[in-house]
Structure 1
């Protein structure tokens, strides 16, 4: 039988491959962190920034990336982002051993994040513009399900690659980028360009505000929550974000059209995504540590432990997209938030049993709940935009999502550090000083906090979202391919 793919579906395939490596990179180093620290001699703070620097850079650059994507063409920005991401990945893999190791790897992790922001914002805008609204929900559900599943593939790949060398967790992105560029060349989606001035003042304000607030959250484990330095960083960071919002509302050519937050569904769905993302990305880092330290798994076995989550996540995300197309976002998101709340709480209560089998079904339940949230909420939020501002709105929605991820990593990491005797060196010392059970007990508090965050998500969705299917947007037609 001869297989034939339509031009639009070929665009979708190209974007999935391109974006997949950015999702893999959110989690692939989780399994490699102990080896990276041991080999490079990183400080505890440095290790945290190797992880969070990437996510924070994604959040900080996403809005300006979306705007530049609209201004210069989505296809061009996908290519630029892919090349930048692959080059930074190679540089991370070649980090030299010595006094400059920490600065080197953190710098190129940040560059990876910036490249990922350009790649993802432009790719998602291309997918949105390629399909009409009646098909877009299902196509984006496929996009989010497959790329989201790559987040789970990250620990699996990371586990096996780290057994060879930790450097391979970065080098693996290079062949993926090559395949993505070939598919982009074959599918050749047509660029739509909207020439406009770029609000660099806004870009600086949003990046500084996010970085300063996340820095305050992350340093709270060292300084303490009531320390004036912690409070000053968090307050100053949030103040810069408020100033950013005020400036954008008064600027002729704003970085982001924040007035779209007046659309109730867009505002509520972004709140949902913020809180859900606090848990989603953080989960893989903490679960990887639990599997290696408390369960005593090898890195490859720990990767398989993480994959259990996606047994529930992937099919739920696919099903959620179909439900969204038929009846709207509220029902599927509310159910997803409720299911994930229950799943994370029940999962947390089994951690101290130190038994994978006792956790198995609860991990799947938590994954299914999250799958019903991430894809449908992201899709419906983006569908609120007019065609000419898809790149910009994609930037807004994903900025909120990745800022939530960065805050989640910082806050939940602080909870773990505060509850382990090994402090921020838990992954290196827990087997001998804190003990498997003590570490599991500390992680239990982290997972309970995740359940609380998902409960907040449930309350927001059930109160804030309205029932019903979204109607089509006038003029939202597929972008042709050539």
Structure 2
């Protein structure tokens, strides 16, 4: 086992996870979820201040999704090759720089595009946090001999879920105290904290990355083809229209070219030959996409109905949603220490199915307790599925590609988020009616059924955490 040097040259503790790594891992991992959620409460103030229509401010959301979906596997691959420290520190600098751009951007009609650029830089900067954390967990498990660091993986999952809960409220407080620029400026101290903690605690080498003489070439052609395919697909999904079918064609052509190239190059960006043979990992990616689709359909689509169809105020609607996140965090804490994943995914899929069925019985006069009950049921898969998928990926991915595999998991997750926007946008149309909500309920039931089927028939899941 390796005995790498820890903080200030002191050896890392033998036989147990180096807890000094938790601080940079946790701070790095929250950068993306906090910026994903905090912008929701800032869109209207930004639009009013800059005189920008919703068709422009929506790019403040989309730009982060696009940058993250493309950047996560790319940065993850670079982490696998060059190690955690340098990529993590570069990401921290980009996060702080993006916060400064948003803070000092001019306030005029065209300034919204300054903010979009800041969000792109922010998305790229936050791409290092999660892959770096998964790389370090894998390296520490290798060093200590702990086959299943379930507690650390649970802590990572709970941290990101908790941040997703408090971020909108934090954004509201920041805007109330200092205006919308504070939602950008908060990234300056967060970026600096990541920079300091990463420099202090992350080692220059973990032992998982190849030696400098054995480093593979950077697959520039593969990266470009992947980026073109993903960018075209994601933009098309966000703006589905006959006039944009050419984007779908570009995505298909670039995707086919990407697969062709990756199968033939010596040092592929994403090794599709290995990936195509790793069916359990592909199923984990599929579950991540399905979980995100259901989750975001509820969080955004259901919230619209609460205000339009049920007639609740935004404040009450937000309170109705709180049980989703609270139950998710509670379930993850309660069962996260157990390394098995199959029963978590089975229970989570059944809870998703039940939540979809409950939606079918909702009307414009449904009592609040019934709505809260549905949210509590939805909170079960919110906690179990994300935790189990993360744990499954840890065992299914190749150790030397753990960071890029983790980054690709986030790509599928954000693809699910964008698919959910297409679903509830088409189900509702101009207004979030009860009939449209029932359509969403049937869609959720269908997606949950697919999730259940691919979980029941995936026998590889039974081996994880047993032995």
Preserved CA contact (<8 Å) 1:30 1:284? no
- 1:53 matched to 2:63? The reply is yes
Preserved CA contact (<8 Å) 1:277 1:402? yes
Q: Which among 144, 147, 153 is matched to residue 140 of structure 1?
A: 153
Moved more, 336-345 or 182-191: 182-191
Matches within 5 A, 1:407-418: 407-409=419-421, 411-412=422-423, 414-415=425-426
RMSD of aligned alpha carbons? 2.8
Q: Aligned in 2, Cα 1:97/1:336: closer, same or farther, shift over 3 Å?
A: same
Matches within 5 A, 1:308-327: 308-323=323-338, 325=339
- 1:12 matched to 2:22? The reply is yes
Q: Aligned in 2, Cα 1:237/1:415: closer, same or farther, shift over 3 Å?
A: same
For residues 183 and 446 of structure 2, what CA distance do their matches in structure 1 show? Answer: 32
What TM-score do the two structures reach when normalised by structure 2?
0.85
Residue matched to 1:360: 372
Residue matched to 2:399: 387
Query: Equivalent residue of 2:109, what SS?
Result: coil
Q: Aligned in 2, Cα 1:335/1:243: closer, same or farther, shift over 3 Å?
A: farther
C-alpha deviation, 1:30, in angstroms = 1.4
Preserved CA contact (<8 Å) 1:157 1:303? no
Query: Equivalent residue of 1:69, what SS?
Result: helix
Q: Aligned in 2, Cα 1:235/1:408: closer, same or farther, shift over 3 Å?
A: farther
Residue matched to 1:244: 258
Preserved CA contact (<8 Å) 1:67 1:255? yes
- Which deviations, in whole Å up to 9, do the C-alpha atoms of 1:214-263 show, x marking residues without a partner? 2222212xx3xxx2x24332243133223212211211110012213412
For residues 20 and 61 of structure 1, what CA distance do their matches in structure 2 show? Answer: 16
Q: Aligned in 2, Cα 1:239/1:245: closer, same or farther, shift over 3 Å?
A: same
Residue matched to 1:424: none
Residue matched to 1:87: 97
Matched residues, number = 440
Q: Aligned in 2, Cα 1:111/1:151: closer, same or farther, shift over 3 Å?
A: same
- Which deviations, in whole Å up to 9, do the C-alpha atoms of 1:350-402 show, x marking residues without a partner? 47337544311211210111211111112211322333222232233232223
Q: Aligned in 2, Cα 1:48/1:279: closer, same or farther, shift over 3 Å?
A: farther
- 1:330 matched to 2:333? The reply is no
For residues 55 and 316 of structure 1, what CA distance do their matches in structure 2 show? Answer: 27
Preserved CA contact (<8 Å) 2:349 2:449? yes
Residue matched to 2:131: 121
Query: Equivalent residue of 2:222, what SS?
Result: helix
Preserved CA contact (<8 Å) 2:293 2:420? yes
For residues 290 and 270 of structure 1, what CA distance do their matches in structure 2 show? Answer: 29
Q: Which among 254, 267, 271 is matched to residue 268 of structure 2?
A: 254
Matches within 5 A, 1:20-35: 20-35=30-45
- Which deviations, in whole Å up to 9, do the C-alpha atoms of 1:128-163 show, x marking residues without a partner? 322345332331121112112211222221233333
Q: Aligned in 2, Cα 1:281/1:110: closer, same or farther, shift over 3 Å?
A: farther
Preserved CA contact (<8 Å) 1:137 1:322? yes
Matches within 5 A, 1:266-281: 266-281=281-296
Q: Which among 213, 238, 252 is matched to residue 233 of structure 2?
A: 213
For residues 281 and 82 of structure 1, what CA distance do their matches in structure 2 show? Answer: 27
Preserved CA contact (<8 Å) 1:25 1:151? no
- 1:457 matched to 2:467? The reply is no
Residue matched to 2:9: none
For residues 198 and 8 of structure 1, what CA distance do their matches in structure 2 show? Answer: 31
Residue matched to 1:435: none
- For structure 2, the residue ranges without an aligned partner over 5 or more in a row are 1-12
- 1:264 matched to 2:279? The reply is yes
